[in-house]
Amino acid sequence: MARALLLAAAAFVLTLFVGAWWVRFARRHKLGKQIRLDGPQSHLTKMGTPTMGGVMIVGTVVVLTALVNVVDRWSILLPLAVLVSFAVLGGVDDWMTLTGSKSKTYGFTVRYKFWLMILVALVASLALYLPPPFGLDHEGLVQIPFVGQRDIGLFFIPIATLIIVGTANAVNLTDGLDSLAGWNLTLAFAAYGVMTFLAEPQLINLMGFCFTLVGACAAFLWFNAHPAQVFMGDLGSLALGATLAVVALQSQQWLLLPVVGIVFVVEALSVIIQTGYFKWTKWRFGEGRRVFRMAPLHHHFELLGWSQVQVTQRFVLIGTVAAMVGISLALIFTAPSAPIRAELPPASQVVEGQP
């Protein structure tokens, strides 16, 4: 744990330096965010704010992990590879937005990018499931609250693929307000860092990786605090969302991911509900109707009159409680089978001269 916390501190400091450089670089090269004209009017002031800030997190995590957390710890190569792969996909998508071009010369179409995400997620799922030297031999294992460890066999592969792609997109949808995605990612990685420490046996390498991400995400918040100097972009949100899913899968605690990442889940569900209901009512009544004033959910509360800071703080408070609940559930089925005696023996049993 001491080593993991030092990695978090090192990642924080390094990301601060990288972040300061990236903000200057992005401004100089006009890598400014394009804002939806149909979104909340208060967001129009963000037009031109530097984006692709996820590069400062990804770069720091890759460097520190390669230096101190990879040698003789080859299982960390999987989440690291997923982090880099999804960062490339998200970076291309960000570049498409910046150039304003839909040409394949500048990047992938939305459908092509989606299938590439599925492909990367499928490869990661196979790497988790298959035995060495092709994979990590997790054999489809999952920790089920109040039940224990179970093997779901080949069903693990499609489920893991869905979790990786779904979490990446859920984090991407949450990244719509200053600090919202960054805070909840920091909390989620910290929660899984604690879970890997509590696991039996302890997943020391994965714990160090989680806390490296905690430090990097926390430093990103330095620049992303309202009013944001830089946005995470798809480069950061897709990469960190997919990596969070892989960490949950490697720890075998992926059933707790919807609890720990409750904010991401609710944000994604709000979009699914809004889109599905609009299409159904348009087919049924000839006119599309909406459940929320705007999706994702954070925009709904903005249009109800909440300020951006209020929405972020309240969602982060929910995320904090959810992270604590997730850790407590993990404790339930990783606790030792024999109870620990905390009380002192009766005075009659104490022998003088003995401790």
CA 108/CA 120 separation, integer angstroms: 15
Q: Which residue, 46, 53, 60, 48, is CA-closest to 14?
A: 60
Classify the C-alpha dihedral 145-148-154-160 as positive or negative: positive
pLDDT value of position 337: 39
Residue 205 labelled as part of a binding site:
no
pTM of the full structure? 0.88
CA 168/CA 327 separation, integer angstroms: 22
Residue 38 labelled as part of a binding site:
no
pLDDT value of position 131: 82
pLDDT value of position 47: 61
pLDDT value of position 48: 62
Ranges in the chain, pLDDT < 50: 37, 41, 44, 101-106, 335-355
Helix (H, G, I), strand (E, B) or coil at 162: helix
pLDDT value of position 273: 95
pLDDT value of position 106: 47
Residues in CB range of 246: below 8 A, 6 or more apart:
78, 79, 82, 124, 128, 164
